[in-house]
Structure 1
Amino acid sequence: MLLFKRLIKVGLIFIFLACLSLAALYLSMRSELPSVTSLKDMQWQTPMQIFSADNKLINQFGEKKRIPLKLNEFPQQLINAILASEDDRFYSHFGVDPIGMGRAVLGKLMGQNKGGASTITMQVARNFFLSSEVTYTRKIREIFLTFHIESLLTKDEILALYMNKIPLSHRSFGFGAAAQVYYGKDVKDLTLAQIAVLAGLPKAPSNRNPISSPRNAKANRAIVLQRMYSAGYINSAELAQANQAPISGKRHSIEIELNAPYIAEMAHQEMVDLYGKELAYTGGYNVYLTVDSTLQSAAQKAVINNLLSYDLRHGYRGAVVSLRPELAKNENVIDQTAELSDEEVIEALNKIDNYQTLFPAVITDVAEQSATIKFLSHQENTQTILQEGEILWQGMSWAREFINDEKQGAAPKVASEILNYGDLVFVIKTAQGFTLSQLPEVSSALVSLSTDNGAIKAAIGGFSFQQSQFNRVTQAKRQVGSNIKPFIYSAALDNGFTLATLVNDAPINQWDQSSGVVWRPENSPPIYNGDIRVRLALAQSKNVIAVRLLRAVGLDNIIPHLAAFGFVPNDLPRNESLALGSASLTPLEVATGFATFANGGYLIRPYLIDRIEDSFGKILFQANPAMACDPCSLENKQQDIDNILDPFDLLPKKETPPLIKAERVISAQNAFLVTQALNAAIWGSDYQMKPFWRGTGWRAQTLKRHDIAGKTGTTNQSKDAWFSGFSRRLVTTSWVGFDDPSRNLGRTRYNSNLDKYQVTGGEAGAKSAQPAWIDFMAVALAAHPEEPFIQPVDIVSVRIDKSTGKLTNKTDKTSFFEYFQFGTAPTESVTQDNSSEILDGSRIFDESSNDDIF
């Protein structure tokens, strides 16, 4: 008994000394321990995600994959699996599990690894604040931090931190991200077998995951399931069924719902500028854009199809590479020893990327008017198999030889004139079969804005972001050609001209003393009609009229007037070539300028980001753009504007800040009159009165919408082609040209293998850029009912004589109603009889007269 009492006393002394030592150790380490209070307001390092206005995922930026979830958003079976496998007494211990710790210490003394020392709280302490080094000092710090965490947070809060923080390999952090990476699912959709696999990852994620080691994953899954069964979380039937399930895990990338890389990069750069690279990539921001997925997809399709059409009508440049070049000129007689093996074909195809709708294929047989191809097909199970197909004659007959941008070879008659055995080519799969194609060398851009507030609704910066990351919407400053003319005419209307003013359409010859040459701006085609009304001059894109108007207004007045539309004054040449489009602007700048005519005279500012949310949906930023709005109705238009900006009714309803009025830069009357002239560029025509005309944008009549207006643009030598046009609510600019400034868009001649509706002759704004505009607007306008341009106050309509612009009482084809600002209508009546100018029959229109090149 005496010995027992002494042992108790010695034991108490040792416990006292141990506690004293532990307290002293804590006091000595306290200043070095990190604060755990940050866990109360944890900011997760999650990637930035970019969404369209209708919540379609566009892209994700950031290496760490994490999907932060609240504890009640995790399925209970997953929580049970983690508790069973990691810390079954989590809700009963005080952060350190004495039973588990004792078992671990005993195992260490016996030279065995008994495990069980680290609780979930200790793992939280280690993962958030400490390294993974195996030292006693680190373990002691871990224990101290564990006590702090347990005193600060509830058990549920600690468990949620653990489940969101734990690294689970393949750059996934937390179980929400792991469910996506390994199974391509939301965590709530996991099966019991999949839950058990994930729950077994924390101890050794790199060699227990189902991608790197399916065998280890299966063995570890069995252990987790057995522990769940022993703890009473699952029954024997569930245990057996889950154990028999195959290991199905494979790497899943994030599912992109809207392919819009140029838009994604624009938003990405804005976020980096706003938050810095590190925070933008880890702050868990969800960035919602103004872009509508329907319009963006339509814009992409329009640009791709238009570039392919341009490229194919200029001829075939040949195979990407020939795998059997020695057979190319041997009349396709194949030596058996030279035949391509499937392995060679697969190796060659794997070296070539897909571009949009184009994918590589190898020619394995050439018949008289068809060819056999082999290509790679990607199956749902990620396997790639080699398949065979056939290009029929209608899919290759376009492919006459490309000689240069101005010239093409003769139309082919047989397939061997186009293809050879072993050619690696690009093809397109259509409903009609396979079509031979090629990667376009020409470039393009299309951008569409809301005319009410500048919201970017769609933007395409080129044929393929993979081919070129240069965003021509915002980065390509190109000469705008006749797209500048509406702004010149707007200045003229503010300086004494009307739509009925006659201006002399005659050649200009001006001696330039500084250069010693004569400047002779010409119409294209070089046809001159004498005195012509301003409306007709803009609709027909008369070059010499634009120069005469600039002279009448003066450069000192023109430059500030154009700058009011958002153009940078330094980008505007201070000479008369400005009237013909020598200024270099981006498509976004051009579209912004045209929006002012559409919205009644207001300058809108383009913007892309509508709002920014954190990972839990809290709004951190909400755009509040200035609106093109009448001041008398500014406060009452919010609901109408919301409906206009979301015609598809896809956006979540949310409170919006009060409207801000945009700056008025031209009068409503000026905007209306220019719009009327631009409407005539599409719908205006007169084949019954000399000089017989129709507007350069007449092809847009296929849209069957009278509430649109627009302007073509083509520069010298056809290096740039433009079409900019708008409805009341949407403005869109389309541009086509080569990145290489030495190349021009050239011309094409008739291909006898194609139909009679093919594009021929010199490339120009109406032929090269307008088709993409039309295709896009056909989709965009479908969401908007026809909405006429509202005639503002102080605009009157009077009947005038077409030839003279004077007042007339006649109601025949020699007259029509024209718009004037109040006080500017003509006061003199016509005295000459112009009825002899009316034609009895119709006149065939010469399409070539629509080229508006300066």
Structure 2
Amino acid sequence: MLSIKNLLKVSLILLILVSIAVYGLYLSMRSELPSVESLKDLHWQTPLQIYSQDSLLISQFGEKKRTPLTLEQVPKQLIDALLATEDDRFYLHFGVDPIGMGRAVLGKLMGQDKGGASTITMQVARNFFLTREVTYTRKIREIFLSFHIENLLTKDEILMLYINKIELGHRAFGFGAAAQVYYGKEIHELNLAQIAVLAGLPKAPSTLNPIRSPKRAKARRSVVLQRMLVSGYISDLEYQTAKNAPITGKKHGAEIELNAPYVAEMAHNEVLKRYGKDKAYTAGYKVFTTVTAKLQTAAEQALINNLLNYDQRHGYRGPIASLRADVSSTTSTSDRAIVPLSTEELTKAFSDATYYQMLVPAIVIAVEDKSVSIQLRNQETATIEWQGLAWARPYINDQKQGPPPKAAKDILKYGDVILVSKMADNNYRLGQLPTASAAIVSLSPNDGAIKAAVGGFSFKQSQFNRVTQAKRQVGSNIKPFIYSAALEHGFTLASLVNDAPINQWDKSSGVVWRPRNSPETYVGLLRVRLALAQSKNVIAVRLLKSIGVRNTIKHLTSFGFDASDLPRNETLALGSASLTPLEVATGFAAFANGGFLVEPYLIERIENSEGEIIYQADPAIACDPCIQNDLAADNVQALDLMSDDNSNHPTTIEGEQKTAPSIEEQPIEIKQANRIISPQNAFLITQALNSAIWGADWSAKHGWQGTGWRARTLKRRDIAGKTGTTNEAKDAWFSGFSRNIVTTSWIGFDDPRHILGQSVYNNNLGKNQTTGKEFGAKSAQPAWIDFMRIALAEAEPTAFQPPVDIVSVRIDKATGKLTTKTDKTSQFEYFRLDKVPTEYVSEDNSSEILSGDQQQQEEELF
């Protein structure tokens, strides 16, 4: 029998031999071991996050969900739970726990899984540098790397690497992300029971998480809590309370604070182009856009309400499904022949039904005379009263609707699966998914910053962004640009153009081209201001013919329009060009800002994961480098032959000219946007567009004072705009602006076979309803008005100030010539200084003006 002395000698020799073998093994593997130096300068792979200008989260992109934490942000109970469960001697060992390793080896020899072999440091080594293959070689490498890590980092640093790196299921990496994914909370908001569930996940995140298996999650939670109790981290009362708490985990997405998916996708695509896919999705960039929550929400609501209103006045297309298709609508729900809906049927119907925005699925469970009872997805029941049903006359086609319903049975029957919306008064309304599409975009004319953008009714329904991707014929929205070209070629707002039918032989097609006004009303000679305000088609054609197609296209391309989108023929004057809503809004911005082309931009800045700004937008500003654009009113030059108590226009003595005060050059360097038209041109077109809303001739009938007169409801004189409708009303537009915001609204069908059509009067709805043919003012302008009501609410009115070299003189309405009269036959008009008329009217036109009629001239002037 060996003596104790000899036993010690043998043990020492074995220890030396093992040490030499281990060291030799280390030397042989050292060149293959990855360097752990990268852990000192680690950049977490965190997702791309998109924010509004006011720092509200819009969306998150990236496969890995991670919210990096600092040690101070981690609750002590989470650290205690991890140490008790994963590595209770973490702060005592040197990367490998001999006791835990020995226990694991002994268990292996005895055929039992004792656990405890991997320390937190070893798990860090495996997670960062190795795979999960179960081999002795990988385990040895893991041990060696653990030594390196312990030598390089402090215990707290190693623990934070583990907390932020570990995979915890459902693409959550780290405990910060897991708290959001499973509980929708920040890590510090979790209670002990929830912390224990998360602390139990590292062992098997795919099977122990509360979403996949609440039962297993609860059992694992009990293990974690037991170890915390034994280790002295929690009291018996805390243990019992947490152990008996229900499993509440369910899947949560990122905590979206502002719903703006089209904006998010626009920003997302721009970041991908700028940085590439790998970096964009892993570097933790925070992208701050130019949109604000207030305006974006207003734009979305305006678009949705307008689409629903349009869709519903054209009729009801029926339920999305019927669980009792064989039941007649005249059959009473109390009839025993009707088989009651089963729980299984209801569950399946709700799972099959897709809902969008505020439209949620419901199932009709009873039909009364003037109401229906419905069951909602949450098993609640509700009633749709007659005011929520009365609109639903049958849809026949785009141009025709069926008779208004007289009772609920004319619309729905038992078992119908429908969409409903909850109104502000908590009553429900029958709804349907609109088949038409729409877009609305708003930007700052001063620098091009996009303030709001909505590319459709629902991103869930269609990810096609009509703000930037839908090139649609613009109709009369093109006319301000045509008229702008005309002003550059000698015309004034007082120039007379013949409003008369055109019959022109087209050699290319072999037919006569007959452009028509809409409606087909012609008044003969008409001033340019009125022609634009009243959207006269034939006058737009005559102006284009006068200046030439080539000159017109050259002028239009200066507004940023692609020449390839502009037809090289006279149909261009009627809006045959196809442009996106964003392109149209950008063009209109040049009138609002005094003649500059701004570049639309959405991203204001990008920050990296440390909060450092790595990109800052530097937009070109719509301003002259040395001249103030907003000249004071007393600097406006004006000519007036006679004072007028009813006029607010500035007056001067004829021939006298005021000079603008000198303005010193600003010391701040500003990137200037390209000037594309003169400030005088921009101001004059803006004046005509203001007349499209507020009227160019108060002696004319209400509807003919301007096609955009409905915007008067905003009670803002500092706005201007233009309607637009294409042939067959396939597209309807309204674009308009104030001095500091420009907005374009479009509505139409993605399917070109459909037209916006018309609707007839519904006897159930009373007087306050839209009927007749659809066009820009009826179909697109309501969304513009609803949005601008919010956008302008807190902005003080800012008048469109005349720039230098603009004068105001009194003219005769019928001829555009100078006049000395101050009655209703005359009005003030703006002119460029070099275009002021010099001839006085010589005959009395008062009867023509007061009657609102003008005799059509036989001779066509233009």
Matched, 1:294 2:305: no
Matched, 1:696 2:707: yes
Match of 2:367 in 1: 366
Match of 2:472 in 1: 478
Match of 2:860 in 1: none
Equivalent pair of 1:506/1:544 in contact (CA under 8 Å)? yes
Give, as a single letter, the amino acid of the residue that structure 1 aligns with 2:286: N
Q: 1:70 to 1:572 in 2, by over 3 A?
A: same
Structure 2 distance, partners of 1:334, 1:348, is 22
Comparing 771-780 with 192-201, which one deviates more in the overlay?
Answer: 192-201
Match of 1:197 in 2: 197
Structure 1 distance, partners of 2:303, 2:819, is 47
Structure 2 distance, partners of 1:691, 1:767, is 16
Query: Of 625, 628, 632, which residue of structure 2 is paired with 1:631?
Result: 625
Match of 2:353 in 1: 352
Matched, 1:600 2:600: no
Comparing 705-714 with 793-802, which one deviates more in the overlay?
Answer: 793-802
Match of 1:644 in 2: none
Structure 1 distance, partners of 2:703, 2:131, is 83
Structure 2 distance, partners of 1:333, 1:203, is 55
Cα shift at 1:827: 1.3
Match of 2:36 in 1: 36
Match of 1:720 in 2: 731
Structure 2 distance, partners of 1:316, 1:113, is 66
Matches within 5 A, 1:698-777: 698-777=709-788
Match of 1:425 in 2: 418
What secondary structure, in the 3-state scheme, does the structure 2 residue paired with 1:32 have? coil
Cα shift at 1:733: 0.6
Count of paired positions: 814
Give, as a single letter, the amino acid of the residue that structure 1 aligns with 2:592: A
Matches within 5 A, 1:254-333: 254-328=254-328, 331-332=331-332
Structure 2 distance, partners of 1:712, 1:484, is 10
Give, as a single letter, the amino acid of the residue that structure 1 aligns with 2:484: S
Q: 1:287 to 1:689 in 2, by over 3 A?
A: closer
Match of 1:581 in 2: 575
Cα shift at 1:332: 4.4
Cα shift at 1:687: 4.3
Matched, 1:570 2:564: yes
Cα shift at 1:751: 1.6
Q: 1:42 to 1:740 in 2, by over 3 A?
A: same
Structure 2 distance, partners of 1:486, 1:339, is 63
Cα shift at 1:757: 2.5
Structure 2 distance, partners of 1:525, 1:693, is 11
Give, as a single letter, the amino acid of the residue that structure 2 aligns with 1:494: E
Equivalent pair of 1:407/1:747 in contact (CA under 8 Å)? yes
Matches within 5 A, 1:182-261: 182-261=182-261
Matched, 1:663 2:657: no
Equivalent pair of 1:498/1:824 in contact (CA under 8 Å)? yes
Comparing 490-499 with 58-67, which one deviates more in the overlay?
Answer: 58-67
Match of 1:542 in 2: 536
Matched, 1:555 2:556: no
Matched, 1:391 2:392: no
Matches within 5 A, 1:517-532: 517-532=511-526
Cα shift at 1:307: 1.1
Cα shift at 1:217: 3.4
Structure 1 distance, partners of 2:560, 2:234, is 67
What secondary structure, in the 3-state scheme, does the structure 1 residue paired with 2:828 have? strand
Equivalent pair of 1:604/1:627 in contact (CA under 8 Å)? yes
Equivalent pair of 1:689/1:837 in contact (CA under 8 Å)? no
Match of 1:90 in 2: 90
Matched, 1:832 2:855: no
Give, as a single letter, the amino acid of the residue that structure 1 aligns with 2:404: A
Query: Of 683, 695, 700, which residue of structure 2 is paired with 1:684?
Result: 695
Structure 2 distance, partners of 1:425, 1:445, is 26
Cα shift at 1:114: 3.2
Match of 2:399 in 1: 406
Cα shift at 1:537: 0.8
Give, as a single letter, the amino acid of the residue that structure 2 aligns with 1:574: R
Equivalent pair of 2:440/2:744 in contact (CA under 8 Å)? yes
Matched, 1:823 2:816: no
**Runs of 5+ consecutive residues of structure 2 not aligned to the other structure:** 631-667, 854-862
What secondary structure, in the 3-state scheme, does the structure 1 residue paired with 2:611 have? coil
Structure 2 distance, partners of 1:784, 1:329, is 53
Equivalent pair of 1:327/1:334 in contact (CA under 8 Å)? no
- Output the TM-score relative to the length of structure 1: 0.91
What secondary structure, in the 3-state scheme, does the structure 2 residue paired with 1:338 have? coil
Give, as a single letter, the amino acid of the residue that structure 1 aligns with 2:369: E
Structure 1 distance, partners of 2:226, 2:33, is 38
Cα shift at 1:476: 1.0
Cα shift at 1:277: 3.0
1:161-193 CA deviation, whole Å, 9 max, x = no partner?
100011122322111111112222111112223
Cα shift at 1:129: 0.8
Cα shift at 1:534: 0.9
Structure 2 distance, partners of 1:230, 1:740, is 68
Structure 2 distance, partners of 1:194, 1:71, is 19
Matches within 5 A, 1:10-21: 10-21=10-21
Matches within 5 A, 1:66-145: 66-145=66-145
Matched, 1:147 2:158: no
Cα shift at 1:582: 0.4
Cα shift at 1:568: 0.3
What secondary structure, in the 3-state scheme, does the structure 2 residue paired with 1:532 have? strand
Equivalent pair of 2:629/2:803 in contact (CA under 8 Å)? no
Q: 1:415 to 1:199 in 2, by over 3 A?
A: closer
Match of 2:487 in 1: 493
What secondary structure, in the 3-state scheme, does the structure 1 residue paired with 2:797 have? coil
Q: 1:4 to 1:81 in 2, by over 3 A?
A: same
RMSD of equivalent CA atoms = 2.5
Cα shift at 1:5: 5.0
What secondary structure, in the 3-state scheme, does the structure 2 residue paired with 1:287 have? strand
